[in-house]
Structure 1
């Protein structure tokens, strides 16, 4: 069943990823058909991110405390479907405000759905296999993004032939066709909910829970290392997604690529990520050292942006490096949260991480559009390099390593520090009882004989009960 659950878990988010980058795949068409500038175009990404500055956090809280993982996943999948339909209708009728509303509704479900996917993964898969599962999730999600980047232009051209000419109607019909992938994701979420409910009933998963529930006030008790991971997430992803959203025209203008070539090189990050993510997740599983892998990914990403900004080398080199580093960071960074908080706080922790990430993406999306309109792509690339350095993601990683090295437990590569939740749970002192000490004492021959007779059901005299102290509670007899 775990095999089927894993596949449904990676599939139910692919529709959201496919439609998230619809504007990037149709950047030229959206700007021309709707008569927009770049700053206005990037508002489509900002409106996706704005609701998630708050709603991702509350989405995780709702998963943990109100809806539950199954119902919450279905509700968020519905938001994704409805949002994409509204977005397509806005393009169809040339109403940009309706397109923004559609992206807003789509965003409400999209990022909260990512929180649900992460929570499902942690609930079903434990230990070292978790990095591999996160890699598989990213692989399938990025496969959806890759198909979007390379097929939406073709879909637009085919629809234009049927309609008779390019324009808002053609754009809206193309986006409506893309909504089919969101419907597929909704079906996967429904089936996954049924299987999870069945597993809970058969395996009695509720019996293993501690009974603890998340409270909003628990956020203040998140460890420092978790907050550093949140900031690393922001500093890294703001240099990835806004760039891909604007990358198609960049490759056309700087490297004289055709639109088809520009779409291909712009999607190479996702193409590499699809097969590389599970492989890199497996490597991280086997080697540990999540922090070191994150450090390597951040440095490689900075090198890729510097190549794009200051050289005319074939952009396939830089974009391939960007794809590998992006996959590596996702496989190593996101599972780190599971090592730092108890299971009942996972949905809220992942939600808070998504919220902070979306705040950065919303602000950077607007800034990137304005910079591109006024300064051009060179300054924009310098800006992305500065984002990585300013947020000092690699410095923050080093700080986490230092925190790990200074604590009593030095296995910082696996994140089992004294500040780590799983490590703190193992280090809690166990109160020894008189029965515990009795179990440690050697048994006499007379005690062994009485124990044997007791297990056979023989009645022992009362004066022999003192010799049964070595049984240390009747649980030994059960």
Structure 2
């Protein structure tokens, strides 16, 4: 995961005028100057590169929730229970329990950013094709293998995407760039949840019957988005190579130095942040993976409306994430915002469990709280660990998150098969309750130790000065 401070190492960190002069000297005194769109030192060219950076992960995010969009079809066509269906999400998460520690290393030391993004994009494509082939030949084990391969490429591709952003843009631009990339990722997820069911019905109409063949063709068509992202990786690799040649800049680095020995130095505050992360996200992503059928069954809505309700979390996250990020940067008080997000998420699940209120209300609340938590929780890691341990801390946080998702996805499917959606919601409420308890403990620990997690930015600076003067 790229951090804001990485902007100091930006490929284009030179001032525009200096970079343009350097580019001019390379092309020769007699050569005509490059146009704005062709000059890697110019903002217009960097905006073009940014467009390809945003689309680099579009296919991965689009296909990640293919199972959620086609839950009914997958369970009926492959004749599997819910707990088996949720293995499609678990197998995505399992490789990332380990790869979170080595994805950055592979990009920095083995492949390089350009070949790394191309290779991981290709792995995503292969995984989606294997996933679709499993449906075509009616082999669910092959579908699971496809999701495992897909998971190997998906998370590492996100690391490559962030590394490109850091290498092309300055520190002051990074918040906006990361916000735009996150927005495009959420758009990919939203389009998937609202399109794949419709696409399945169209393929069914052409073939004249449903079944695993229809499912396989639908998933194969969805994989076109992964090919599109692979093309973006190839183009972006060329643009980055060209910028390096013209501006004499080094390739981007993730800055993620992983030292597992650093774990012994992790503070109690950091471990509580890990608990909050793991227990919170298992109440969001597995729920979205199972939500469509829930809305159709309990609230008697159509398939199209159920898909729309299920995707509203991602729809709201796209515009709100940059806004909330700016708000938290200006206001500070990270623990307060995390607590608000966790309480709102619990209220959302309680509404869905105990009332028949319009589900749009609960899901909009979930979308708002999900966006707020991401902006307030992840930056707190940088406040409680030294800079040289950030790579290890973030890698471990992602590893725990993926481990929780891998295990709890299976548990959620088992609960649903045995006791139904009401007890599934109780299970999610219990997970969020543990997260809330961890937030309260984090506040108490931080307060008693004179920490800065719930300070305003000004108070945080003053506290830092006092610490350094002692």
- TM-based fold match above 0.5: yes
| Structure 2: 5+ residue stretches without partners | 1-42
Instruction: Report the equivalent of 1:325.
Output: 369
Give, in angstroms, the shift of residue 333 of structure 1: 2.5
Instruction: Report the equivalent of 1:474.
Output: none
Alignment of 1:216-255 (within 5 A): 216-255=260-299
**1:395 to 1:374, Cα distance in 2 relative to 1, 3 A:** closer
Q: Which has the higher Rg, Structure 1 or Structure 2?
A: 1
In structure 2, how many angstroms separate the alpha carbons of the residues matched to 1:99 and 1:227? 35
Q: Is the 8 A contact 1:133 1:278 kept in 2?
A: no
In structure 2, how many angstroms separate the alpha carbons of the residues matched to 1:405 and 1:179? 49
Q: Is the 8 A contact 1:45 1:362 kept in 2?
A: yes
In the alignment of these two chains, the number of paired residues is 424
**1:167 to 1:36, Cα distance in 2 relative to 1, 3 A:** same
Give, in angstroms, the shift of residue 215 of structure 1: 3.7
Residue deviations 1:12-54 (CA, integer Å, cap 9, x gap): 1121111011011011111111111111111111111112222
Are 2:192 and 1:148 aligned?
yes
In structure 2, how many angstroms separate the alpha carbons of the residues matched to 1:360 and 1:48? 12
Instruction: Report the equivalent of 1:394.
Output: 436
In structure 2, how many angstroms separate the alpha carbons of the residues matched to 1:220 and 1:65? 25
In structure 2, how many angstroms separate the alpha carbons of the residues matched to 1:415 and 1:403? 19
Give, in angstroms, the shift of residue 197 of structure 1: 5.0
Instruction: Report the equivalent of 1:108.
Output: 152
Instruction: Report the equivalent of 1:450.
Output: none
Give, in angstroms, the shift of residue 311 of structure 1: 0.8
Are 2:106 and 1:62 aligned?
yes
In structure 1, how many angstroms separate the alpha carbons of the residues matched to 2:90 and 2:53? 27
Q: Is the 8 A contact 2:61 2:188 kept in 1?
A: yes
Q: Is the 8 A contact 1:290 1:415 kept in 2?
A: no
How much is the aligned-residue C-alpha RMSD, in angstroms? 3.3
Give, in angstroms, the shift of residue 79 of structure 1: 1.3
In structure 1, how many angstroms separate the alpha carbons of the residues matched to 2:251 and 2:418? 60
Q: Is the 8 A contact 2:269 2:446 kept in 1?
A: no
**1:342 to 1:37, Cα distance in 2 relative to 1, 3 A:** same
* Aligned match for 2:328, one of 284, 290, 305: 284
**1:185 to 1:229, Cα distance in 2 relative to 1, 3 A:** farther
**1:193 to 1:334, Cα distance in 2 relative to 1, 3 A:** farther
Instruction: Report the equivalent of 1:52.
Output: 96
Alignment of 1:269-308 (within 5 A): 269-308=313-352
Instruction: Report the equivalent of 1:90.
Output: 134
In structure 2, how many angstroms separate the alpha carbons of the residues matched to 1:220 and 1:124? 35
TM-score normalized with structure 1 length: 0.79
Partner SS state of residue 210, structure 2: coil
Instruction: Report the equivalent of 1:358.
Output: 402
Q: Is the 8 A contact 2:101 2:258 kept in 1?
A: no
**1:207 to 1:367, Cα distance in 2 relative to 1, 3 A:** closer
Partner SS state of residue 364, structure 2: helix
Residue deviations 1:172-193 (CA, integer Å, cap 9, x gap): 1110111111122223333444
Give, in angstroms, the shift of residue 244 of structure 1: 0.8
Q: Is the 8 A contact 1:269 1:324 kept in 2?
A: yes
